[in-house]
A and B are shown apart, each in its own frame.
Chain A
Amino acid sequence: MSLFEQTWAWLTDPLQWSGYSSIPTRLGEHIFYTLLTVAIASAIALPIGAYVGHTGRGRVVVVAIAGALRAVPTLGLLVLFVLLSGIGLMPPIWALVILTVPPILAGTYSGIAAVDPVVVDAARAQGMREFQILFGVELPNAAPVIFGGIRAAVLQVIATATVVAYTSLGGLGRYIFDGLALSDYPQMLGGSVLVAALAVVADLVLGVLLRRLGPHSVSKRELPAPEVLKEGMP
Chain B
Amino acid sequence: MEWAAANAGRILSLAGQHLVLAIVPLLLGLVISLPLAQLVRRHPAWRTALLTLSSVLYTVPSLALFIILPVVLGTRILDPVNVIVALTVYAVALLMRSALDSLDSVDGELSLAARALGHTAVSRYFQVDLPLSLPVLIAGLRAISVSNISLVSVAALVGMPNLGILFTEGLQRDFVTEIVVGLVAILVLALIMDLLLVVLGRVLSPWARFASGAAPRKPVTPARRAVRG
Contact = CB atoms under 8 A, between A and B. Distances in A.
A158 B229 CA distance: 9
B226 A180 contact: no
A107 to B, nearest CB: 10
A180 B180 CA distance: 26
Given A83-B176, A155-B59, A199-B64, 17 more contacts: A70-B147, A71-B149, A71-B191, A72-B150, A75-B156, A75-B167, A75-B229, A83-B170, A99-B227, A152-B226, A158-B61, A163-B154, A163-B157, A176-B63, A180-B158, A196-B59, A200-B60
A152 B143 CA distance: 14
Interface in A177-206: 177, 180, 185, 188-189, 191-193, 195-196, 199-200, 203
Contacts of B228: 74, 155-156, 159-160
20 contacts: A71-B187, A73-B149, A74-B227, A75-B153, A75-B156, A75-B168, A75-B229, A76-B167, A79-B179, A83-B176, A99-B227, A155-B59, A155-B226, A159-B61, A160-B228, A162-B61, A173-B63, A176-B64, A189-B71, A192-B64
Interface string B54-81: 0110011111110110010000010000
Contact of B183 (A77, A163, A191): A77
A162 B179 contact: no
Contacts of B227: 70-72, 74, 99, 102, 156
A127 B29 CA distance: 52
A159 to B, nearest CB: 3
A223 interface: no
Instruction: Classify the secondary structure of A's interface with B.
Output: helix
A80 B176 contact: yes
Interface of A: 3-4, 68, 70-77, 79-80, 82-84, 99, 102-103, 110, 148, 152-153, 155-156, 158-163, 166-167, 173, 176-177, 180, 185, 188-189, 191-193, 195-196, 199-200, 203
Given A176-B67, A195-B64, A167 B171 contact: yes
B183 A73 contact: yes
